[in-house]
Structure 1
Amino acid sequence: MERFEAGTTPTSIDDTLRLLEGQDYLAGRGLATVIFLALRMKRPLFLEGEAGVGKTEIAKALSKGLDRPLIRLQCYEGLDVSSAVYEWNYPAQMLDIRLSEASGVDDRRQLQANLYDERHLIRRPVLQALAEAGETAPVFLIDELDRTDEAFEAFLLEVLSDFQVTIPELGTIRAAEPPIVVITSNRTREIHDALKRRCLYHWVDYPQAEQELAILRRKVPQASETLSRQVVAYVQRLRAIDLFKNPGIAETIDWATALTELDRMALDPETITDTLGTLLKYQDDIARIGGGEGARILSDVKAELLAAG
């Protein structure tokens, strides 16, 4: 595939595929289509999917491929405006008041103007994304929105509708150029329809075996072909089992990397048991696969790969 020139804007779906591939992100055509449309229509991109399937990496790939800064808002329970948008630098304000008083300034209006000067404004990710675009608007990643509460989600409606925020002491601040907004959710709760309507939507699923093998060849090139095929086949089978948390592509990459660090050229039952902590993150899952179940899966994987030639 022809290489995409970094820093330019894709003019087609194929361009978008090349942009992502240039950053070692192998996407399907459906995902590339919705990314292309989000860029052309200047609409936020809402990505849902299980943890570890590569949603956050999409924003990182766009940032590098388009040569734009990445501003990330990591969401969590209790996130509020002061942490996400802005707050005033209280110590600097108090110092400014004392200096003004010491110099003989007693005009209340002038003191208030100095108090709420932009010099004292601490810009958090939302305000940075809107007001610090520079020559090109940044990629603004709102990561794991489902971890916040509905009040913060409602606040984002103004940001996503008009790309602006209102600061009572300064007024409304609008983006000169709308940022490229990527919102991710692990779907631990449903996001309100009012927010989703402002976005283009895509469900990021676990990759099929062929795509996952291609990703592994890119991300862990030092792994042998035999090991890569066995790892992918093994992980694909694990996802068909009723585990508490299925391994994502991030865990597949971590596991393959760990195995190469141990100089393994192929899987064996003992190595699987010893390294399951890089692939599975819950003890119940590790205990289940670390026993006879894991050896049985490996036997099936080897038989499957042998039959496939």
Structure 2
Amino acid sequence: MSVHEQTAPNGWHVFHATGRPPAAPPPLPAPPPWRRFRGTPAQPPPPDDPEAALRRLGPGEAAQQLGADEIDVINAALVLRRPLLITGPPGVGKSTLAYLIARELGLGRVLEWNIVSRTALRDGLYVHDAMGRAQAIAAWQAGVRHTAAPGQGDGAAAPEPAEAGSGGSAVNTATSPSTRQLPPVLGEFITLGPLGTALLPYDRPRVLLVDELDKSDIDLPNDLLHVLENGSYDVPELVRDAADEAYVHTSDPGGRALVRGGRVECAEFPVVVITSNGEREFPAAFRRRCLPLEMRTPSRDQLLAMVERHLGTRSPEAEDMVDLFVQRVQAGGTHSLDQLLNAVRMTTAGGFQADGDGRKLVEMLLRDLAKGR
């Protein structure tokens, strides 16, 4: 960062809420000393998912929904390598912010961790398919018996599989070289979850969306504290394995990652976007580790720009729907932005009459979500 950029107003900003894909990924500020991590081995750059960003953000530059204060908080989270805790009414665009950051900073595919009441920390870190591994070992042993040398026969005991990870070299020495089979390796049955994948040692941070954390079990926010503070975790099954390293699956489609010693530690702390609808309070220790950001319903002009970006229209019918939507929000109802987009899409469809027989359908599309029906 140049001296001019440092002294210019907002010169420390790297995120400007435009949602415009960069020609080249912009450099990020160096983390503070207490948020530096040394995870290895370095992972290849993550895949991109432009279609997901297009569905969330629409084509072109994003409509400005964030004010100067909100943009300051987001940039502070990027500088300090701290999670963002975003609160606001349902459907206001909280989760969309993760896609806005990822596209503007060129950080690749967003990793989504959708929280429900049964979600536990391990669900976000990794899954071990123990049953699948047991079945694979049984199939391997059956194959060994089938291809055993004539002197061993079907009644001979099959050799035990070596407790080796991806690097394991144990083979069935009783078979000929042409029929030799390797035992199933442990790494093939471990898949890193969204949180676990985000903490892999990438050169640039991944974007992790933890959606609706307030719906979780009461213990999950506290369980997250250690991981968010240390940027690392262990996979006990791999720690106990005889092999020093293993290739495991990740949350990216077709993704694989090398894990050494059963421990995963990031090289760059991920951009963590945690959303909450405000259904309950979080522990003080958890809130201390996050930067709070409250999102409000966009203004009329912002809503019109959003409709135009997604649907390519700013017709009188679209303006009427925006005005109706704003009236209902101001009256104290609970409404989401996708309700507005659905209503505008219907009213601008050829032949649809919002003031005639279609009025009942418009009422259904813009119903108050707080009423439960």
Q: Please confirm whether the aligned pair reaches a TM-score higher than 0.5, indicating the same fold.
A: yes
Query: Are the counterparts in 2 of residues 145 and 185 from structure 1 also a CA contact under 8 Å?
Result: yes
Match of residue 16 from structure 2? 16
Q: Distance in 2 between matches of 1:261 and 1:12?
A: 45
User: 8 Å contact 2:212–2:276 — kept in the other structure?
Assistant: yes
TM-score of the aligned structures, taking structure 1 as reference length: 0.76
Partner of 1:129: 198
Structure 1 position 54, deviation (Å): 0.3
- Length, aligned pairs only: 270
Matched, 1:118 2:156: no
* Structure with the higher fraction of residues in helix conformation: 1
Using structure 2 for the length normalisation, give the TM-score.
0.64
* Aligned sequence identity (%): 23
Q: How does 1:156-195 map to 2 (within 5 A)?
A: 156-169=224-237, 170=239, 171-195=262-286
Extract unaligned runs of 5+ from structure 1.
Answer: 1-9, 287-309
Letter in 2 for 1:62: I
Q: Confirm or deny: 8 A CA contact 1:223 1:256 kept in the other structure.
A: no
CA distance in 1 between counterparts of 2:321 and 2:232 reads 47
Contact 1:54 1:250 in 2 (8 A): no
SS, match of residue 77 in structure 1: coil
Q: Is it true that 1:63 corresponds to 2:95 in the alignment?
A: no
Query: Is 1:141–2:141 an aligned residue pair?
Result: no
1:189 Cα deviation from its structure 2 partner: 1.6
**Matched residue type, 1:252:** L
* 8 Å Cα contact 2:14-2:75 kept in structure 1: no
1:137 & 1:269 partners in 2: Cα distance?
A: 52
Separation in 1, partners of 2:372, 2:219: 35
Q: CA deviation at 1:163?
A: 1.4
| 1:113-143 alpha-carbon deviations (Å, 9 max, x no partner) | 6788333212111111112x54433110000
AA of the residue aligned to 1:30: D
Q: What secondary structure does 1:150 align onto?
A: coil
Contact 2:210–2:274 (CA under 8 A) maintained in structure 1: yes
Aligned-partner SS, 2:198: helix
Amino acid across the alignment from 1:46: L
- Pairwise CA distance, 1:59: 0.6
Match status 1:247 vs 2:335: yes
1:52 is paired with a residue whose SS is: coil
Partner of 1:83: 123
Change over 3 Å in CA distance of 1:283–1:17 after alignment to 2: closer
Q: Which residue in the other structure is 1:211 paired with?
A: 302
Q: Which has the larger displacement, 275-284 or 226-235?
A: 275-284
Instruction: Flag the 1:211–1:176 CA change in 2: closer, same or farther, 3 A.
Output: same
Q: CA deviation at 1:250?
A: 2.3
In the superposition, relative to structure 1, how do residues 263 and 59 fare at CA in structure 2: closer, same or farther (>3 Å)? farther
**2:86 pairs with 1:47:** yes
- Does the CA contact (< 8 Å) of 2:318 and 2:347 recur in 1? no
Higher RCO (Cα < 8 Å, 6 or more apart): 2
Checking the alignment, whether the CA contact within 8 Å between 1:46 and 1:202 is kept in structure 2 is yes
User: CA 1:176 to 1:118, structure 2 compared with 1: closer, same or farther past 3 Å?
Assistant: farther
Larger radius of gyration: 2
- Measure the CA separation in 2 of the matches of 1:278 and 1:70: 29
Q: 1:172 to 1:134 in 2, by over 3 A?
A: closer
1:196, distance to aligned residue in structure 2 (A): 1.4
Q: Is the 8 A contact 2:129 2:189 kept in 1?
A: yes
- Correspondence 1:17-36 to 2 at 5 A: 17-19=17-19, 23-26=61-64, 27-36=66-75
2:358 matched to 1:271?
A: yes
